[in-house]
Amino acid sequence: MSIPQWNLSELVASTDPQRLKDELEAMVDDSGKFADRYRGRIASLDAAGLREMLERKDELALRYEGVEEYCSLLFTADMTDPVANELNSAYMRAGTEAGKAMATVGIELGQLLMARPELINDPALADYRHYLERRARAAPHLLSEAEEKVIMTKDQNGIQVMSRLQSKWLSTRSFEVEIAGEKRSLGIGEVYAYMHDPERETRRAVYESIGSTLKRDELLWSDILRTIVADHAAMFKLRGYGSPLEPTLLANDVSAGAVDALMEVVQGNVDLCQRYFGLKARLLGLERLGSWDLRAPLPSTPDRRYSWQETKDLVLSTYRDFDGQLGEWAGDMFERGRIDAQVRRGKRTGAFCSTWTAGRSAFILQSYNGRLNDVNTLAHEMGHAVHAYLYTRAQNYSNCHVSLCVAECGSLMGELLLADRLKGEASSREERQDILVKILDGFTLSVFQEGFRFIFEASLYEQQENGVELDGKRISELWRAAQDRVYGDAVQWLDDSEWDWARFPHHYFAGTRFYNYPYTFAQLFVFSLYRMYKEQGPEFVPAFKELLSAGSSRSAAELAAGLGMDIESPSFWRKGMEQARAFMEELESTMEDQ
């Protein structure tokens, strides 16, 4: 059975490039017409009128979703193809133009909800309730249309340049490394590949080179980061937010109380992380892990390859055994050519799943090499796909924008279900250990590593507020201090490893501060849900499907409440830690006579 390529033709009436570009132009035109129709009129809408506007807005978005999806997916499938490039640029341009045209609708809608908040709970708008709630919460922080336009224009040549500068600078550095006795000069992409090398000395050499190379450009990194911190600090105050974290809470649809409870549990369970690093050191035959060993593969990992047919059977049976309907939809993804798994030149690296709301389906891209990781990736992306099948059937378009904190529920659950199956079928201790280490590596990365990065970022704003000059040395001290609070002395660090912050792109993204905690949130949320599944068995499945079906129509807190849980209470998050502890004990039991 050959590895499939996806079929995108269902997305559009015609794949002729000129017709696609005409469609995108029509989208911009229709957006302008929509805005003109409602400009200055939104303040006087009643509930029925508002409902009509929202339905028309959804209909407009769905009308052009196929062509947008087609252009963006075609590009990810071959980024070297000139036609795909041209269509992708046209799609991006059209998206920006349509967005600008619609800006006034967002501002006027916010003003209406501030003036008449009772509309949010009007029965005529019941299926837009949470969407409107979120709009209402954001509204007091919006400035006037003219001010917003000036900010957008200035940011384009200001704060938004920083991320491009960082990635360009990093991608043009040379990293001098000695590998197997040979001196080499590597680019950042090659260096990253060697970070997971089975040879310990190679990993160490690569980490040393990264640290010393980053340190050399200290002035650049610290100046950029200080500028970003100062810009965000100025903007959150100008927009009337109470803290630098608050804008992200709105975007991620969670409360400060939930993030507080989450971080309290992360910090109260750092012993678990340190205990895992102790186990991993033993499996690697070491006294203590070096920072260059954290993601190291186990030496005993069996080099097993999976055919595409085996992978398909594994993923389908994983979902089918959990729930018949989800299993059927997973099958639909294969049958309808919604998966592009071939390895090809020019294809985007990594993997993703993209929702096609109008088609009540999704598309998956990955580069399949037949390793266990690839099987896991497909199970992960398939979780996103069945999540999409559920919410696109249950919700209107406005409720199909799932926040980061909830978006990984289907995918991470899928990974755990696959791990269950693989453990059941494993024929050796080494295979079982490999599966458990993969789960726990992922867990410690999302919960503890992302957790300490949250502490680091919060400390930057505290220091900035206290008037401390954030130079390279000070930033590195804060990085090290946050790291020590989580890792203790379970890890040995290299001299220059405190410069590691400089290489992470999310520190430089415009408009995306506190990027890390949604990943901590998602991982621990799903571990808690998986724990409930283990406790309740099949009874849990309908409640879980209801959670996924909600899309963005309810907040994470409301979704958890539906399962009888309170995400503002540390006890909910401790459930996730209990599950991690159970996996760790399982790993320990495989090591007893080792």
Rounded to the nearest whole angstrom, what is the least distance from the CB of residue 558 to Zn ion in the complex?
Answer: 22
The 10 Å CB-count burial string (b at 16+, else e) for 32-41 is eebbeebeee
Question: Which tokens sit at 42?
Answer: 């939104």
Q: For residue 577, with 0-12 CB atoms within 10 Å meaning exposed, 13-18 middle and 19 or more buried, which class applies?
A: buried
The minimum distance between CB 384 and Zn ion, in angstroms, equals: 6
CA-to-CA dists, residue 594 to 171, 282, 303, 432, angstroms: 43, 9, 21, 14
Minimal distance, residue 211 CB to Zn ion, in Å:
30
Which range, of 289-297, 307-315, 403-411, 541-549, touches Zn ion by CB under 5 A? Answer: 403-411
Binding span for Zn ion by CB under 5 A among 314-322, 331-339, 410-418, 483-491: 410-418
Window 431 to 460, contacts with Zn ion (CB under 5 A) = none
Residue nearest to Zn ion according to CB distances in the complex = 411
**Which residues, 6 or more positions from 586, have their beta carbon under 8 angstroms from its beta carbon?**
436
Q: How far is the CB of 251 from Zn ion (least distance, A)?
A: 18
Minimum CB separation of residue 84 from Zn ion in Å reads 24
Q: Distance of CA 299 to CAs 304, 341, 427, Å?
A: 14, 28, 18
* Residue of the chain from 411, 433, 497, 516 that contacts Zn ion (CB under 5 A): 411
* Site stretch for Zn ion (CB under 5 A), options 111-119, 299-307, 411-419, 431-439: 411-419
CB of 380 to Zn ion, least distance (A): 6
Give the nearer residue to Zn ion in terms of CB position, either 45 or 379: 379
CB of 353 to Zn ion, least distance (A): 7
Distances (CA, A) of 413 to 159, 245, 382, 420: 37, 28, 10, 11
Q: Which stretch binds Zn ion (CB under 5 A): 13-21, 144-152, 405-413, 499-507?
A: 405-413
Q: Which residues, at least 6 apart from 224, have a Cβ–Cβ distance to it below 8 Å?
A: 162, 165, 166, 508
Nearest residue (CB) to Zn ion, 69 versus 408: 408
Report which secondary-structure segment, H or E, holds 340. strand 339-340
Binding residue count for Zn ion, defined by CB under 5 A:
1
Query: Would you give the distance in Å from CA 406 to the centre of its chain?
Result: 10
Select 222 or 411, whichever has its Cβ closest to Zn ion: 411
- Confirm if 356 and 369 have CB atoms less than 8 A apart: no
Q: Is 355 in the site for Zn ion (CB under 5 A)?
A: no
Q: Rounded CA gap, 390 and 222, in Å?
A: 45
Which residue number, 270 or 326, has a Cβ lying nearer to Zn ion?
326
**Closer by beta carbon to Zn ion, 411 or else 459:** 411
3-state secondary structure of 384: helix
Q: 252 or 459: whose CB is closer to Zn ion?
A: 252
Taking contact as CB under 5 A, which single stretch among the options 244-252, 287-295, 407-415, 505-513 is the one that binds Zn ion? 407-415
Of the candidates 350, 421, 352, the residue with the CA atom closest to the CA atom of residue 382: 352
Contact segment (CB under 5 A) with Zn ion among 9-17, 388-396, 406-414, 448-456 equals: 406-414
Q: Which residues bind Zn ion (CB under 5 A)?
A: 411
